[in-house]
Amino acid sequence: MKSMLESFAIALCGLATSVLAALANVAIARTTGADIFTLALWVVVPVGALLVGFAAASGYYLGSRYFHKRASAGLLVQMLLIAAFTQLLIYWTGYATMALEDGRKVADLVPFGAYMELILTKSHYRIGRALSDVGEVGRLGYGIAALHFLGLLAGSLAVFLYLKELPVCEACSRYLRSMANKTKRFADADSAGAYYDRLFAIPVDGPDFAALIQTDADVEKVEQGALQVHTTLLGCPVCKAQMIEEKVQGYNGQDWKDLHQLHRKVRIPAEVDLVPVFLELRVAS
């Protein structure tokens, strides 16, 4: 029962952000004349629809993280349906709020189907740096609308894939929550490697592991070649299982870049509780 209520709440979160994204898009178009949803590169790359799709699906991300409920195939189906709903709502809201110069509402003059025929086939698009008008798109407008829908789907899919990459408790299918974290900086790869290679080569429930975690590491001046290791203790909100996630970044002289090949997730044995180790770390910091 609890799981069903959580799924329903997540669905409501997704529906809410879908409605907000559609209404915000139409409001911006009405006040500025810029329709974000139809923005595209070279007409065929629907970047605006992708952004709107991402915003519309953000409620699913927020709801899933809040309830720590793992993304499933059912959630993906919901997100795809919401993408279709968002596009329809954008069209319908535009129709319901459009008025002629004399104040008459378009909805009082033509049915929704005729309105859609007009906006899809009579629309003009501009391409190139000079924004040259290519004229009315005609029946091609239906194809462009289909591309916009694909953009919405891509935005939703991006949210879903991000959720799928988050660490979860396999036993409970719940997202792990962050319980503590620490960042260590090293002047070069050798000093970083000494920490990185040793950390899980020793028992995680022993004093050497605790000492290594609790030891601060920093550099006075960050220079090219420096590395930093983000260590995060994660825990399941249901069964209390724990995991350590480490992300490594390298400094290229201007900013920090993720070294994805060095990222790792290590599950902690069920009988081991590292919370005291990281609580001690907080005190020491």
Q: What is the rounded distance in angstroms from the CA atom of residue 195 to the CA atom of residue 202?
A: 11
d(CA 227, CA 199): 16
Last residue of a domain, one of 138, 166, 194: 166
pLDDT by position in tens, the chain (length 285): 777 888 899 999 999 999 999 999 999 998 898 889 988 887 678 999 999 999 999 999 999 999 989 889 999 999 999 999 999 999 999 999 888 888 889 888 899 988 888 888 876 565 544 444 555 666 777 888 899 999 999 999 999 999 999 999 988 889 999 999 889 999 999 999 999 999 999 999 999 999 999 888 888 888 899 999 999 999 999 999 999 999 999 999 889 999 999 999 999 998 899 999 987 754 444
Query: DSSP state, 250?
Result: E
* Residue 131 and residue 52 share a domain: yes
Looking at the structure, tell me whether residues 204 and 240 fall in a common domain. Answer: yes
Adjacent-strand bridge partners of 105:
99
What's CA 213's distance to the chain center, in Å?
A: 30
Beta bridge partners of 127: 132
Beta bridge partners of 174: 69, 169
Q: Are residues 50 and 117 in the same domain?
A: yes
Query: Does residue 249 sit in the same domain as residue 142?
Result: no
State the residue for tokens 């991000």: 162
Total number of domains in the chain: 2
Distance CA 90, CA 55 (A): 13
Residues 181 and 162 reside in one and the same domain: no
Q: Look up residue 55 and give its two tokens.
A: 């915003």
Same domain? 29 vs 91: yes
Task: Please tell me whether residues 155 and 230 are part of one structural domain.
Answer: no
Domain that holds residue 135: 2-166
Same domain, 151 and 185: no
Report which residue type is found at 199. Answer: L
DSSP state letter for 99: B
Residues 80 and 207 both lie in one domain: no
Verify that 62 and 142 share a domain, yes or no.
yes
- Within this chain, do residues 116 and 247 fall inside the same structural domain, yes or no? no
Residue type, 5: L
| 212 in Cβ contact with 198 (< 8 Å) | yes
